[in-house]
Structure 1
Amino acid sequence: MRTDIRRKVRAERGITTAEYAVGTAAGAGLAALLYKMLSGGFGEQLLHTLFDHVLGLLGIG
Structure 2
Amino acid sequence: MRHRFVDAIRRHLHDEEGMSTIEYALGCVAAAALGALLYTVVTSDAVESALSGIFERALNEH
Length-normalised TM-score, structure 2: 0.61
Aligned structure 1 segments of 4 or more residues deviating by more than 3 angstroms: none
Unaligned 5+ runs, structure 2 = 1-7
Q: Which segment drifts farther, 42-51 or 13-22? A: 42-51
Q: Which has the higher contact order (CA 8 A, sep 6+)?
A: 1
Q: 1:53 to 1:13 in 2, by over 3 A?
A: farther
Unaligned 5+ runs, structure 1 = none
User: How much has 1:46 moved relative to structure 2?
Assistant: 2.8
Indicate the percent of aligned positions where both proteins have the same amino acid.
Answer: 37
The alignment's C-alpha RMSD in Å is 2.2
Show the 5 A alignment for 1:19-38: 19-38=23-42
Q: Which segment drifts farther, 23-32 or 38-47? A: 38-47
Structure number with bigger Rg: 2
**Corresponding residue for 1:16?**
20
User: Number of residues paired by the alignment?
Assistant: 51
Length-normalised TM-score, structure 1: 0.62
**Corresponding residue for 1:51?**
55
